[in-house]
A = this chain, B = another copy of it.
């Protein structure tokens, strides 16, 4: 049984940048030598998230539109009274979407659907340098 840790570094372009990380996570799995097990993908930070989607231009607009409809940027957030950084909506969106994703590794592969990609979502209002930790465990 192995545990293999890697970090993916990302430079994001700010709100709402959606980045396909499938190949980079698959590369970590390949490097790990794990044939069967799991990959835990965890984004460090309280204004970002990890999920899956069909990575195509339409949905890259539909997901930000849904985030704005559900958690509008323009309404009042108490968070602003704490820090004055005006990213209260970014934080709330991140807590709902969550920063973790766990996926099986089967025969050295991530068994994603053909139109299902792993994505990192930048929810903060400005470009950020981000770290995504990938923990691969298995045999």
Contact = CB atoms under 8 A, between A and B. Distances in A.
A99 to B, nearest CB: 6
- Copies of this chain present: 3
Contact of A38 (B40, B79, B81): B40
Interface in A33-49: 36-38, 40, 42, 44-46
A138 B102 CA distance: 15
A10 interface: no
Contact of A82 (B3, B58, B138): B58
Contact of A79 (B42, B62, B102): B62
Given A79-B58, A82-B58, A116-B44, A66 B92 contact: yes
Contacts of A36: 3, 5, 135
Interface of A: 1, 3, 5, 36-38, 40, 42, 44-46, 51-54, 56-63, 65-66, 69-71, 77-83, 88, 91-92, 94-106, 111-113, 115-116, 133, 135, 137-139
